[in-house]
């Protein structure tokens, strides 16, 4: 089923038209998707920061940013510029090397994980076979960066924040991985493209959310906990820990944490939409629309249409989830650390294990509905 746009192939053919060898064309192609993803991630963060400011303002009956651009849309850029020109301070008693390496270790795995986010059949950087497992593995590196920056700051609040962050992300990784495993069981593949393809049979009716409602809720809770969003923002609980592991950070190093947490939020929303909400799929299958309009599915017009619909649908679903996350942040109180760990170990872990078992049983009983 190889339809859809293959930009890499057409780009390489285009360069070969100028008399370049295929290897050089490939090298020229390589940085383009990486750059595109970086830009997409940063623009996504800017949009999310603006949404966060506006929605929090609405939740608290304020107006929010207003003067920078229409409706304050330029406010996040102003924020970013401010962080760029601020002085880079390393506290005198801090450990300079670890203090600098910490934020990098937090940000890099998150951006690397964008490797596997598909926006269409061929619109992803690399369709690696281990797909979603790569994301789980990469997200487990983050706690090291948090512990590192918490330790290097030489500040008790930072250290406590770092320890909390590590404990939290270790506990919530297990139910997260188990609910992903249930999806993988139904798909017979770890690749994100296969996971979306498996849901594309009957439009909205074949999305995984109907077959995995428990997994969806567990995954969403765990994703919020991994992003350290309220109600799970214990590592940076202002009233208890000043700002947790970020307390001593300023300027661009602080901005790296800030970027990392927002990119992580968008990434989690994208992955929820890929795993449970049909990814790039339109609620009504595009094949049906094409048949209705009497157009062949391989027509160039239909292909461009499918690709743009795919991107729009992925982004739309992701931002719907981001909206819910922001609304949750500004309307719910924070849980205590013991409640957080109880929820993770005594509730989500057994539930996700049971969900996995039931999925396996249903797969054996009804192979046509649960991926045979």
Partner 1 sequence: MSIALTTQIICFSVLSLVILIGALGVVLLESIVYSAFLLGGVFMSVAGLYLLLNASFVAAAQVLVYVGAVNVLIIFAIMLVNKKEDLKPISDIKSRRIISTSICLTLLSLLIRVDLTNVWSLSSPQNSIGEESTIRIGEHLFSDYLLPFELASVLLLMAMIGAIVLARRDVMSKDISTGLPVDQELIEKSSEPLLTNKN
Residue numbers of the site for partner 1 (CB under 8 A)?
23, 26-27, 98, 128-130, 133-134, 136-138, 140-141, 143-144, 147-148, 150-151, 159, 162-163, 166-167, 170, 173, 190
Cα 204 vs. chain centroid, distance in angstroms? Answer: 22
User: Nearest Cα to 234, choosing from 304, 157, 300?
Assistant: 157
What residues contact residue 141 under an 8 Å CB cut-off, 6+ apart? 105, 109
- Shortest distance (Å) from residue 128 CB to partner 1: 6
- Shortest distance (Å) from residue 135 CB to partner 1: 9
Pick 55 or 128: Cβ nearer partner 1: 128
Residue 87 near residue 250, CB atoms below 8 Å: yes
Pick 173 or 236: Cβ nearer partner 1: 173
- Shortest distance (Å) from residue 34 CB to partner 1: 15
- Shortest distance (Å) from residue 143 CB to partner 1: 5
Residue 270 near residue 314, CB atoms below 8 Å: yes
Pick 138 or 358: Cβ nearer partner 1: 138
- Shortest distance (Å) from residue 162 CB to partner 1: 8
Which DSSP letter does residue 334 get? P
Pick 194 or 236: Cβ nearer partner 1: 194
How far is Cα 222 from Cα 218, in angstroms, rounded to an integer? 6
Q: What are phi and psi of 14, to 5 degrees?
A: -60, -45
Q: Per the structure block, which two tokens stand in for 366?
A: 């009804």
Pick 129 or 350: Cβ nearer partner 1: 129
How far is Cα 125 from Cα 112, in angstroms, rounded to an integer? 10
Neighbours of 351 (CB within 10 A): 17
Strand locations in 287-348, DSSP E? Answer: none
Pick 63 or 130: Cβ nearer partner 1: 130
Handedness of CA 264, 265, 268, 270 (dihedral sign): negative
Pick 320 or 349: Cβ nearer partner 1: 349
Pick 164 or 317: Cβ nearer partner 1: 164
Pick 84 or 170: Cβ nearer partner 1: 170
Can you give the three-state secondary structure of 72-138, one letter per residue? HCCHHHHHHHHHHHCCCCCCCCCCHHHHHHHHHHHHHHHHHHHHHCCCCCCCCCCCCCCHHHHHHHH
From residue 140, give the alpha-carbon distance in Å to each of 23, 51, 123, 150, 345.
Answer: 35, 28, 26, 17, 17
How far is Cα 66 from Cα 47, in angstroms, rounded to an integer? 15
Neighbours of 53 (CB within 10 A): 18
Pick 147 or 315: Cβ nearer partner 1: 147
């Amino acid at each position: 089923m190889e339809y859809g746009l293959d930009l890499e192939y057409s780009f390489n053919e285009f360069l070969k038209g100028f008399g370049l060898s295929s290897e050089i064309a490939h090298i020229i192609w390589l940085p383009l998707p990486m750059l595109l993803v970086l830009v997409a991630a940063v623009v996504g963060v800017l949009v999310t920061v603006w949404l966060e400011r506006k929605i929090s303002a609405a939740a608290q009956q304020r107006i929010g940013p207003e003067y920078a651009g229409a409706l304050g849309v330029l406010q996040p850029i102003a924020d970013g510029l401010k962080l760029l020109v601020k002085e880079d301070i390393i506290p005198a008693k801090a450990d300079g090397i670890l203090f600098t390496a910490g934020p990098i270790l937090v940000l890099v795995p998150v951006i690397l994980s964008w490797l596997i986010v598909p926006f269409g059949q061929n619109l992803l950087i690399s369709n690696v076979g281990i797909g979603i497992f790569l994301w789980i593995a990469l997200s487990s590196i983050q706690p090291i960066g948090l512990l590192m920056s918490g330790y290097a700051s030489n500040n008790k609040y930072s250290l406590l924040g770092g320890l909390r962050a590590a404990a939290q992300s270790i506990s919530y990784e297990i139910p997260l991985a188990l609910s992903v495993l249930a999806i993988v069981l139904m798909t017979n593949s770890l690749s994100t493209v296969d996971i979306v393809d498996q849901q594309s049979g009957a439009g909205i009716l074949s999305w995984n959310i109907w077959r995995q409602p428990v997994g969806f809720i567990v995954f969403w809770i765990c994703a919020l906990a991994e992003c350290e969003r309220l109600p799970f923002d214990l590592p940076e609980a202002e009233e208890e820990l000043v700002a947790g592991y970020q307390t001593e950070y300023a300027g661009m190093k602080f901005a790296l944490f800030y970027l990392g947490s927002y990119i992580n939020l968008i990434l989690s929303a994208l992955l929820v939409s890929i795993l449970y909400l049909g990814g790039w799929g339109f609620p009504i299958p595009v094949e049906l629309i094409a048949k209705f309009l009497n157009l062949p599915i391989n027509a160039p017009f239909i292909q461009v249409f499918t690709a743009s619909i795919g991107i729009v649908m992925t982004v739309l679903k992701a931002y719907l989830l981001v909206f819910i996350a922001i609304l949750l942040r500004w309307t719910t109180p924070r849980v205590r650390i013991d409640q957080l760990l109880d929820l993770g170990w005594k509730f989500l872990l057994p539930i996700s294990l049971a969900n996995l078992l039931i999925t396996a049983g249903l797969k054996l009983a009804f192979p046509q509905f649960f991926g045979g």
